[in-house]
Amino acid sequence: MKISIIGGGSSYTPELIEGIINNKNIDIKEIVLCDIKDGQEKLDIIYDLSRRMVKKANLDIKIKKTLDKKEAIENSSFVISQIRVGGLKSRLNDEKIPLKYDLLGQETTGVGGFFKALRTIPVIFEICDYIEKYAKDAYLINFANPAGIVTQAVLKHKNTKVIGVCNVPITMKNMISDLLKLDKNKLEINFIGLNHFVYIHDIYYERRDIFDDLLKVLETKNINMKNIDDLKFDMDLLKSLRLIPCPYHKYFYMKDKMLKKQQISLKTNNLRANQVIKIEKDLFEVYKKNSLDEKPIELEKRGGSYYSDVAISLIDSISNDKRDIHVLNVLNNGVINSLPKDSVIETNCIVGKNGIKPIKNKYSKLNNVIGMLRSIKSYEDLTIESVYSKNKEKAILALIENPLIVDYDKAKLVFEDMLEVNKKYIKFD
């Protein structure tokens, strides 16, 4: 089996390599790390570290590096995309510029997520073209954010077998396991919603409904991600919803509080992008050490925990027809009745050699949030349409459909401002 990693110079790659080393069920013979010319230095560092890790594990896996997508993708069984078009400089703009207009700055939601989508989708389309020409049976496992929009864009406009993945559900599951002091392997959690807008609908332990047990614990504890301010959801909200929102919902349910937090961070040069730039610089200094032959503990500061668990277990499930359950971004196909069948949703799926099948359930509690889900899907659909048609007017319409914006004047001003700093990556007719 050959696996290619597009964005191979990413600081996350050692996490993937560790996942491959630790999984004894998949017989990988070749890993190709691919990046762009501007990422050559980081690619070289990651390549050397990856080789040391594989050597220490005494595995017969050939590690290669290249700047040529054809060479990387040709005859691959799986292509993992972890690209960040524009790098961390663009991420900083995504977080910083919207704040000038009193709009939330974030890399995957709101204005920032919108421009990240505009930068990312054309490059993903190019990767799909290579897959369809040189590895037509390969799966594209896409981690590139915003994963839900990217996955829907591919499913709508390409013939690539794409699976959108995110570490939020597995992070939530592991945190809940710790909070409740329960064996995570016996936890059954039904996730339903959209990427970075997903909810826990039901939760069971050894077939016993423990939703109320979790609610009780959340009165004093919290579920959060490293890249999101640690604010607690109001318990009255959780009891009313009868759903557990993912940490990214704070941008929607606590918009004003989150905006104030970000504006303070902007003044102190402490936005998450500023933090990540520093973490990345330090990480690569660690990665350079010839004595390092394992994933360093410092990588935990970067976020993206359980990243390799998601990717490698997914490859294992498909390759070995395990028919186990993963939370993935897939076509709705009637799982959420109130959304179109061709919408991409994030939900529990059965995974085997014949592909991905979302699990249908009685998701009645979604009636409490269906308006927001529809609004976000409308935003996502218009975003994809604006990229595909290169239509600026559609792009601004997409922005005002986003629940975090809903203001034409602000949308138009921030759009022109953001477009100027992204003109290297985004072209409109």
Please report, for the chain, the start and end positions of each structural domain, with discontinuous segments joined by +: 1-164+255-325+338-343+362-429
Average per-residue pLDDT for the chain: 94
Q: Each residue of 46-74: pLDDT tens digit?
A: 999 999 999 999 999 999 999 999 999 99
Query: At 303, is the pLDDT very low, low, confident or very high (cuts 50, 70, 90)?
Result: low
Residue 203 and residue 190 in contact, taking contact as beta carbons nearer than 8 Å: yes
Q: Map residue 365 onto helix, strand or coil.
A: helix
pLDDT surpassing 90 at residue 307: no
Q: Each residue of 380-395: pLDDT tens digit?
A: 999 999 999 999 999 9
CB proximity list for 91: less than 8 A, separation 6 or greater: 84, 107, 112, 116, 273, 276
Q: How many whole angstroms separate alpha carbon 413 and alpha carbon 99? A: 12
Cis peptide before 403 (omega within 30 of 0): no
The tokens of 119 are what?
Answer: 């930068």
DSSP state of 140: E
Query: At 304, is the pLDDT very low, low, confident or very high (cuts 50, 70, 90)?
Result: low
Q: Among 4-18, 22-36, 104-118, 220-234, where is mean pLDDT lowest?
A: 220-234
- Positions marked active-site: 248
CA geometry: angle 221, 329, 396, nearest 5 deg: 95
The reported pTM is: 0.95
Q: Each residue of 71-107: pLDDT tens digit?
A: 999 999 999 999 999 999 999 999 999 999 999 999 8
DSSP 281-331: HHHHHHHT-TT--S--GGGGGG--TTHHHHHHHHHHHHHTT--EEEEEEEE
Q: How many whole angstroms separate alpha carbon 206 and alpha carbon 165? A: 26
Query: At 309, is the pLDDT very low, low, confident or very high (cuts 50, 70, 90)?
Result: confident
- What's the average model confidence in pLDDT over 419-425? 95
Strands 30-34 and 62-66 come out as: parallel
Q: Which amino acid is at 206?
A: E
Q: How many whole angstroms separate alpha carbon 378 and alpha carbon 376? A: 5
pLDDT surpassing 90 at residue 306: no
CB proximity list for 391: less than 8 A, separation 6 or greater: 385, 428, 429
Query: At 114, is the pLDDT very low, low, confident or very high (cuts 50, 70, 90)?
Result: very high
pLDDT of residue 308: 80
Query: At 226, is the pLDDT very low, low, confident or very high (cuts 50, 70, 90)?
Result: confident
Q: How many whole angstroms separate alpha carbon 194 and alpha carbon 329? A: 8
Query: At 299, is the pLDDT very low, low, confident or very high (cuts 50, 70, 90)?
Result: confident
Find, among 207, 177, 202, 205, the residue nearest to 191 by Cα.
Answer: 202
The tokens of 418 are what?
Answer: 């953001």
- What's the average model confidence in pLDDT over 258-265? 95
Report the half-sphere exposure of 76 (CA within 13 A, side-chain side): 32
At residue 230, φ and ψ (nearest 5 deg) are -85, 70
Residue 229 and residue 261 in contact, taking contact as beta carbons nearer than 8 Å: yes
Q: Which amino acid is at 17?
A: I
CB proximity list for 177: less than 8 A, separation 6 or greater: 183, 184, 187
Q: Map residue 260 onto helix, strand or coil.
A: helix
pLDDT surpassing 80 at residue 224: yes
Measured over the CA atoms of residue 11, residue 306, residue 248 and residue 282, the dihedral's sign is negative
E strand or H helix that includes residue 351 = strand 344-352
Pick 1-164+255-325+338-343+362-429's CATH classification: 3.40.50.720, 3.40.50.300, 3.50.50.60, 3.20.20.100: 3.40.50.720
pLDDT of residue 305: 62
- What's the average model confidence in pLDDT over 131-150? 96
- What's the average model confidence in pLDDT over 163-173? 94
Q: Each residue of 325-353: pLDDT tens digit?
A: 999 999 999 999 999 999 999 999 999 99
pLDDT of residue 300: 77
Q: How many whole angstroms separate alpha carbon 139 and alpha carbon 66? A: 20
Strands 344-352 and 355-358 come out as: antiparallel
Q: Which amino acid is at 223?
A: I
pLDDT of residue 193: 96
Cα 287 → chain centroid: 24
